Structure 1
Amino acid sequence: MIERINYEGLPQIAGPYVHAVKHDKTLYISGLTAYGTVAQSSDLVAQSKEILGQIAAILECEQRSKSDLIKITIFVRDIALLASIREQLFQFYDGCLPACSLVEVSKLIHPDLQIEIEAVVAL
């Protein structure tokens, strides 16, 4: 069974997708950004903090913890800025490091956006 979910408290969806999809004891979280939040026009650090907060909110709604994160994929517009969020990521993972991919991209959905993060969570 597949369940498509939009979470209250997260930025409203502006495209043809949902915040997450549950399938076979796995939660697939769509690429989240700071779009539509106060952090949208801020720097990479502020946008990263916003997105990690969104992921934390989803984990809380699903009664999951950070140790249930299986895989994170991070898309950044400037990979040279990775060092500015590295410590933030370590703190967020709280010792439960997931598998991770980091990809530099030329653009995201809006020119203000510096980062997008998607995740896979074990249920």
Structure 2
Amino acid sequence: MVERINYATLPQIAGPYVHATKHDKTLYVSGLTAFGTSSQSEGLPEQCSQILSQISSILESEQRRKQDIIKLTIFVRDISLLATIREQLFEFYEGFLPACSLVEVSKLIHPDLLIEIEAVIALVD
């Protein structure tokens, strides 16, 4: 069975999707952005910080830890700016490096957005 979840602590969804789905002890988190937050019109580090905060909120809601993150997929509009968020990512992981893909894209859902991050999180101990 698949459980579809929207988290009250995250920005409200306006499209045809949910924040995450649970299936077989795995949580699949939709692409998160800074859309609808105070960071929406800010730079890549600020938007990244907002998204990582959203992921932390999901981990807390699910009573999980950073070491439970299996994989992140990061979509950026300008891959040459990776250095501006690299240290931020290392700090967020707290030493528990996940599998990760980094993809440069031409556009995201709104012109202000510079980054979107999806996550896969283990729900077992």
1:34 is aligned to: 34
- Return the alpha-carbon distance in structure 2 between the equivalents of residues 106 and 14 of structure 1: 22
One-letter identity of the residue aligned with 1:99:
A
The answer to whether structure 1 residue 5 and structure 2 residue 5 are counterparts is: yes
Letter matched to residue 34 of structure 2 = A
Separation in structure 1 between the aligned mates of residue 14 and residue 43 of structure 2, nearest angstrom: 22
The residue identity in structure 2 corresponding to 1:18 is: V
Q: Which residue of 2 aligns with 1:57?
A: 57
Local SS of the residue matching 2:50: helix
Q: Hey, what's the Cα distance between the residues in 2 that align with 1:48 and 1:2?
A: 29
3-state SS in 1 of match to 2:35: coil
Matched position secondary structure for 2:90: helix
Q: Given residue 78 of structure 2, which amino acid in structure 1 is its aligned partner?
A: D
Q: Aligned-pair distance for 1:95?
A: 0.2
2:113 aligned partner, one-letter code: L
Runs of 4+ in 1 over 2 A off after TM superposition: none
**In structure 2, what is the Cα distance between the partners aligned to 1:52 and 1:108?**
17
Amino acid at match of 2:102: L
1:35-114 matches, within 5 Å, as 35-114=35-114
Q: Give the TM-score of the pair, scaled to structure 2.
A: 0.98
Deviation, structure 1 residue 14 = 1.1
Alpha-carbon distance in structure 1 between the residues aligned to 2:18 and 2:38: 21
- How far off its partner does 1:80 sit? 0.2
- What's the TM-score once normalised by structure 1's chain length? 1.00
Q: Where does structure 2 lack aligned partners over 5 or more consecutive residues? A: none
Q: 1:29-67 CA distances to partner (integer Å, 9 max, x unpaired)?
A: 000000000000000000000000000000000000000
Deviation at 1:9, TM superposition (A): 1.4
CA RMSD of aligned residues (A): 0.3
Aligned partners of 2:112, 2:64: CA distance in 1, in Å? 31
Unpaired runs of 5+ in structure 1? none
